[in-house]
Amino acid sequence: MAAAFARGARRAGHEVDVLDIAYMDIRGCLGCEYCHTRGGGVCVQRDDMDGVYPLWDAADVIVVASPIYYGSFSGQIHCLIHRTYAGDKPKGCKAMALLLCSGAKGVYEAAERIYHGFMQGYYGVQDLGVFEATTGEALSGEMAARIEDLGRSLSERVG
């Protein structure tokens, strides 16, 4: 699903950074408040989030793609989301979308609540939609085409 979005966006001339966070060293938030007391919005931890923060702040559009594990995002996505607390809202983001994939239907509710209530709602950006698919559907031509079209049409959709 992420590859389909990136393909469409690149074909439309957009610069795309895809972060495969499953293979990155991103530790969970310590809740130490260093970022807000002494760190000036910088997390005390030094890990791969150091490379994520500049991309997070520079992005016009953020697309979160995650498998659904036990009814919610993967643990790695949760860690990344929690660690963005250090810098608060992404500075340049105008719109967000969510891509979810699961082995079963009807297990997307918790991830959608996080997206709509916090990520999309708190950040106050345009919602480009939630795309849900089972593993088989995610690999289908129809779903890939819908998501590729989202990437291709960003200039028209993002105001």
Q: How far apart are CA 8 and CA 156, in angstroms?
A: 13
Task: Give the tens place of pLDDT for each residue, 66-81.
Answer: 999 988 999 999 999 9
Domains and CATH numbers, the chain: 2-153 (3.40.50.360)
Q: How far apart are CA 145 and CA 140, in angstroms?
A: 9
Most confident of the following: 49-58, 104-113, 115-124: 49-58
Q: How far apart are CA 37 and CA 114, in angstroms?
A: 26
Task: Give the tens place of pLDDT for each residue, 89-114.
Answer: 899 999 999 999 998 888 999 999 99
Task: Quote the mean pLDDT of the chain.
Answer: 92
Tokens of 61: 């559009």
